[in-house]
Structure formats: C-alpha cells, structure tokens
Structure 1
C-alpha cells in the first residue's frame, strides 16, 4: 500500500502538469484543427519530461538539494540568475492562465462570470498551500484528477474506426488548408504545454519536501515512468475526442466548454459532471504546482529557507514571494485578458525557454561531485542530448514561427 501511495506525487505532478489549462485547451484545439497528426508530439513529450524529471529527482534524493540550488554553485551566479529570472517569469504567466482556467471551469457549472471566481480561487490556493499537508494535497487533487479518464471512455463510446485512427497517428498528414509553418507552430505549442518547466521544478522540490533520500530512487523512477504516461494517455484522449466530434463539425476551440463538448455528446450529464470534476481538480492542482514552483526557483537560488512544510515564520521570504506572485497573477487575470490567448502564449513561451531548464539538469546529473556513482548512464545521456537538441531547435524556431503564422492564425 505504501508503494501505491508513493505514486501519488507522480500522479499529482502528471495530472497537474500534463493536464493543466494549457493542455486542456491545446489538445482540444489541435485535435479539432489537425486531427491526430500531432499525437506523436505527446509521445515525445512524455518520454522527455519523464527522463528529465527522473534526473532532477535523482539529484534531489542523492544530494538532498534541488537543481536550482545547485545551478548557481555548479554553473556560476550569472547563469543561475538568468535561469531563475526566465523560469520565474514563465511560471508567473502560466499561473495567470491556470487561475483563469479553473475560474472558467467553475463558470461552466454555475453560469457566473469567470472573473468573479478568480479571487476566491486564488484565496483557496493560498489556503491550501498554507494549511493542507503536502501528502493530502497531492493525493486528493491527483486522484480527483483521474476523473479526466472520462475523455478516454468517451473515445470508446463514440465508436471510432480504430484502423483509420492508427493510420492517422502513424502517418500524419496536413488537413486541407493548413501549412507546414502552422503545423510546426502548434507542435511547439503542444511541446510547451506538455514539457512545462514547472513540472520538473515541482517534482524535484517535492522530493526534498518528502525528505526522500537515495533509498527512494525506486519511488522517484516509478513516479516519473508511471505518472507522466498517465498524463499522456489523458492528453491523447482529449485530442482524439476533439478529432471525432469537433473536427467534422468545423468547430474551432475558443473556450473551455468546447473541450468538454465531445464528452457531453458521448456520455451525457454523467460525463459532463466527471469532466468538470477532473478539470477543476487538475487545473487547481496545476495552480498549486505553478505557484509553489515560482517560489521554489527563487528561494533555491538565493539560499532562502523554503518549503510548504516549513513554518511561515521560518520561511518568511518564501511565503511572501508566493503571496506577491499570487496577487500579481490575480491582478493580471482581472484585466480581462483573453484566457485562451494567454494560455497559448504561456505554453509557447514555456517551449521557447525549455533549454534554460533542461541543460543545467543534464549537466548536474552527470557531475560525480554531486551524485557520485548515481550519474546518468549512457542511454540516459544519449536520449537526454537528443532532447536537448530538440528543445534548442524549438527555441531557435519559436520567434520565426510565431511571426510567420501570426500566432497560429
């Protein structure tokens, strides 16, 4: 039973990281627009984020320190500060999207305008971080997020042509009227949505919060290689039902209700209720992860006392930063910025800065001064380098693709 419960961190991270508001919007949008032609990106993302999370988690349990704690020491203050600034800004923008996302989900249930829900949601997030034990938090929101499997059930209920689906996945082709620049723009958007930097920050920091040590390496690996594939399955389920229902009808995803529509058509009110439960749990979980990750990155770099499990009186700067970040995100959300637009830009920016996150992890995971004989093996390094090349190519192409496609229009 303890081994099963230890997977809660991986499930929570996967549900709250893979299936956040960015993925809910992006997967449905891409499924409706490109069908199954970008499913391969999800497979690539699952392997990549699991691989680098395992590296970051291994560093954390062997050293008792997180990656950002070590970047400054290993790579110098300037490199460390640049990584912190970029990561914090990406997290902060993502936090705005997450707050809007959960407010939109509640709007679907209540018909009360989503902006009125942003402050209460922010307050609840702060209350959870302040008062709810770490283990309870991850288990409740991770397991409640499993209600999102209703999207997978809807795939079966809609009765797809499995042979045609396999053909579409293994031989992707552009729909009529779409060009390669737009295709690659959305491939990068999906990569950013599913390999978001805060997933890695949160996972490695949470391993320290759990006080895991080298003896817990099995738990680290199980969390990565079981948790993230669960998130990947859910993401593909959302893409498939959007392809089955929205693409034939020519519906372009512009709000969260269109993401849920295929489930409602397949499973009715029960499906709607389960979808909303899963969405609220997943997006609220990602709100917690993103907010904590914002504080983690800064506190680790500057050597502050940090942690959800640390008393606020002992970690005053860390908790003050969390509060300021949350209030700033609420202020931006209340400007009536378009939630879908900020979500797309948040995940796209996340894709553009992935090398800043992944390169230091690869370097530190190969440094015997920190991890001793727990350094990467040849396979992990080979695959890690391939992924580093992929995210570097994506970072270089990000701005030209953004301009060429007018942000995917």
Structure 2
C-alpha cells in the first residue's frame, strides 16, 4: 500500500495537468471535431512533460531545493522575474478556471448553478490547503481522480471500429468542414495543456514538501513515468469516447455534461456518477495544484519561508499569497466568464509562456554545482533541446492562430 501511495504525487500532478477542466473539454472537443487526428499531440505532450518533470524531480532530490529557487539563484532575479510573471498570470487564471470546473461538476450533481458553488468551493479549498497535510491531500485527490478510468471502460464498451480510429490517428489533419488553421490551433492548445508551467513547479515543490533526497530518485522517476502517461491515457480515453459518439453525428462538445454523455451511454447511471466524481476530483486537485503553485513561486522568488510542512504563522506570507490567489480566481469567475472559455484563453497564454519556464529548467539540470554527476546525460539534453524548439514554435504560433481562427471557431 505504501508503494501505491508513493505514486500519489505523480498521479495528482498528472491528472491535474492532463485532465483539468480545460483539458477535459478540449480533448472531448478535439475528438468530436477531428476524431483522433490530434492523438499524436498527446503522445508528444506526454514525452515532453515526462522529460522536464524528470529533470525537475532530479534537481529537487539531489539539491533538496525546488527548481524555481535554483532558477533565481543560477540565472539571476531578472530572468526569474520574467519566468515568475509569465507563469503566475497563467497559473492564477487557471486557478479561477479550476474553481469554476469544480462548480460545474457540482452543478451536474445537484442542478444548482455553478456560480453559487464557487464561493463555497473557494472556502473549502482554502481550509484544505491551510489545515490538511500535503500527503493527505495528494493521496485523497490523486487516487480519487483515478475514477476517470471509467472513460477507458466506456471507450471499450462503446465498441469503436479500431481500423477507423487508427486511420484517423495515423493520418493527422483537418476533418471535413475544418481547416488547417483550426487544426493547428487545437494542436497548440492541447500541447500547451500538457506542459502547463505550474505542473513542474508543483511537482518540484512537492518533492521538497516530501523531503526527497538522492535516495528518492527512483521514487521521483516512478512518479513521472507512471503518473504522466496515466494522465495522458485518461485524456486519450476522453478523446476516443467523444470521437466515437459525437464525430459521426457532426456534433460539437462545449459543456461538461456533453463530455460525460458517452460514459452514460456506455456504462449507465453508475458510470455517469463515477464520471462526475472524477470531474470533481480532477478539477479540485488541479485547483490545489494551481493554488499552491501560485504561492510556491512567489515565496521562492522572494526567499520567504514556504510550504505546508510549516505552520501558517511560520510562513504567513506564503499563505497570504495563497489566499490572494484564490480570491483573484473567484473574482475572475464573478465576471460570469465561462470557466471553459477562460481555460481556453489560459492555454494560449500558457503556450506563449512555455519558453520562459523550460529553458531555465534545462540550464539548471546541467549545472554541476547543484547536481554533481547527476546532471543531464546526452539523451536528456537531446530530448530537452528538441522540445525547446517545439515549445518556441508553439509560443510563436499561439496568438496568430488564436486571432486567425477566432479561438478555434474557424
């Protein structure tokens, strides 16, 4: 049992990164509009986040310090400030979207408007992050999020034609009625969602919270190479169920209820209940990740005491930033912007901010002063460099594609 719980950090990080509110709907919408023509993006995204999360976990395990802390020390306050500014904007907006996602999941379960749930969710989130131990949070929400495996069950029970799915996946491109601009906009958004900056900052800081040392390198890598592919698999299952049910009918997907519909058709009411529980766990887990990441990065930049392993009075500024982040997220939602639309915007901003996050990580992972003989090998540097090129290309294309396609509307 202890070995299973040891995977909880990786599972929580992966589920929060791959199947938060935006990704749930984005993968379903991609499946409905393009079938499995974007399946390759999930593969590319999983490999990329695994490569950089492994670097981040290794840096933390060997140095005993979070990546963002070392970025500021190694590259200086100006570079770290640019990194902080870009990631903080994306993370706080994503926090707002996740709070809205929890509200939408509760709306599905209770028929009470999600905006009425948002303040309640925000208070519960604050109390949980203030009072509950880090290990308890990651175990509860990381493992509960696995209920989303019901989408894998649904994908099998729906009985899609394997030959047709392979045809879609192996011949990427726009389906009938779609264009290349929209296809690439969706691809960039899905790629950005897989490598959202808060994932590596949360994973690295979580390693410090759990007091990783060099002896925990294997544990860190197991978290990475089991957790993130599992998150990618769940995202793929959502795409498959949507492609099976909605694409043949030419129906688009833009609500959480529609995402759950294939599960209800395949598994029935029990499956629908499991899907709603999974939505709740995934979005609440992502809200925890983004809330903590907001406070982690600010506190680490300014050199404050931080972390849930410290009492609130010992890390007062850390907890103050956490509260402010939650309040800002609530304030954004109170403008009545749709949480799903909000996440779509954050994915575009995330794509633009990716180079500011991943280049410094690659630099720190090659610094012998911090890692000694644990620096990147040739394979890690090759993969890291290739992904930097991809990241820069995605960052350059994100805003032009957003404008040309009107946020993927065509």
Q: State the TM-score bracket (shorter-chain normalisation).
A: over 0.9
Q: Is residue 18 from structure 1 mapped to residue 18 from structure 2 by the alignment?
A: yes
Q: CA deviation at 1:172?
A: 2.0
Q: Distance in 2 between matches of 1:193 and 1:207?
A: 22
Q: Deviations over 1:61-81 (max 9, x none)?
A: 111111110112111111111
Q: Distance in 2 between matches of 1:353 and 1:93?
A: 13
Q: Is residue 50 from structure 1 mapped to residue 70 from structure 2 by the alignment?
A: no
The aligned counterpart of 1:382 is 382
Q: Deviations over 1:56-111 (max 9, x none)?
A: 11111111111110112111111111111111111001011101111001001101
The aligned counterpart of 2:300 is 300
Q: Distance in 2 between matches of 1:182 and 1:375?
A: 40
Asked whether the equivalents of residues 26 and 193 of structure 1 are also in contact (C-alpha less than 8 Å), the reply is: no
The aligned counterpart of 1:280 is 280
The aligned counterpart of 2:171 is 171
Q: CA deviation at 1:349?
A: 1.3
Answer with 164-173 or 73-82: which moved more: 164-173
The aligned counterpart of 1:35 is 35
Asked whether the equivalents of residues 15 and 231 of structure 2 are also in contact (C-alpha less than 8 Å), the reply is: yes
Q: Is residue 350 from structure 1 mapped to residue 333 from structure 2 by the alignment?
A: no
Q: CA deviation at 1:16?
A: 1.5
Q: Is residue 180 from structure 1 mapped to residue 189 from structure 2 by the alignment?
A: no
Asked whether the equivalents of residues 352 and 395 of structure 2 are also in contact (C-alpha less than 8 Å), the reply is: yes
Answer with 236-245 or 74-83: which moved more: 74-83
Q: Is residue 336 from structure 1 mapped to residue 336 from structure 2 by the alignment?
A: yes
- How many residue pairs match? The answer is 409
Asked whether the equivalents of residues 305 and 314 of structure 1 are also in contact (C-alpha less than 8 Å), the reply is: yes
Asked whether the equivalents of residues 3 and 219 of structure 1 are also in contact (C-alpha less than 8 Å), the reply is: no
Q: Is residue 310 from structure 1 mapped to residue 342 from structure 2 by the alignment?
A: no
- SS of 1:83's partner is helix
Q: Deviations over 1:258-287 (max 9, x none)?
A: 111111111110110000111101110000
Asked whether the equivalents of residues 23 and 235 of structure 1 are also in contact (C-alpha less than 8 Å), the reply is: yes
Q: CA deviation at 1:5?
A: 2.0
Q: Distance in 2 between matches of 1:364 and 1:46?
A: 21
Q: Distance in 2 between matches of 1:5 and 1:327?
A: 31
Q: Distance in 2 between matches of 1:209 and 1:307?
A: 7
Q: Distance in 1 between matches of 2:326 and 2:67?
A: 24
Asked whether the equivalents of residues 152 and 237 of structure 1 are also in contact (C-alpha less than 8 Å), the reply is: yes
Give unmatched runs, 5+ long, in structure 2: none
Aligned-residue Cα RMSD (Å) equals 0.9
TM-score normalised by L of structure 1:
0.98
Asked whether the equivalents of residues 201 and 297 of structure 2 are also in contact (C-alpha less than 8 Å), the reply is: yes
The aligned counterpart of 1:213 is 213
Q: CA deviation at 1:178?
A: 1.2
Q: CA deviation at 1:38?
A: 0.1
Q: Distance in 1 between matches of 2:195 and 2:34?
A: 20
Q: Distance in 1 between matches of 2:89 and 2:100?
A: 17
Q: CA deviation at 1:3?
A: 2.7
- SS of 1:253's partner is coil
What are the within-5 Å matches in structure 2 for residues 209-288 of structure 1? Answer: 209-288=209-288
Q: Deviations over 1:357-380 (max 9, x none)?
A: 100000000010111100000001
Give unmatched runs, 5+ long, in structure 1: none
Answer with 242-251 or 98-107: which moved more: 242-251
Q: CA deviation at 1:246?
A: 1.3
Q: Distance in 2 between matches of 1:50 and 1:170?
A: 23
- SS of 1:327's partner is helix
Q: CA deviation at 1:385?
A: 0.3
The aligned counterpart of 2:123 is 123
The aligned counterpart of 2:112 is 112
The aligned counterpart of 1:360 is 360
- SS of 2:337's partner is coil
What are the within-5 Å matches in structure 2 for residues 39-78 of structure 1? Answer: 39-78=39-78
Q: Distance in 1 between matches of 2:254 and 2:171?
A: 27
- SS of 1:304's partner is coil
Asked whether the equivalents of residues 193 and 348 of structure 1 are also in contact (C-alpha less than 8 Å), the reply is: no
Q: Deviations over 1:321-342 (max 9, x none)?
A: 1001111111111110122211
Answer with 236-245 or 158-167: which moved more: 158-167
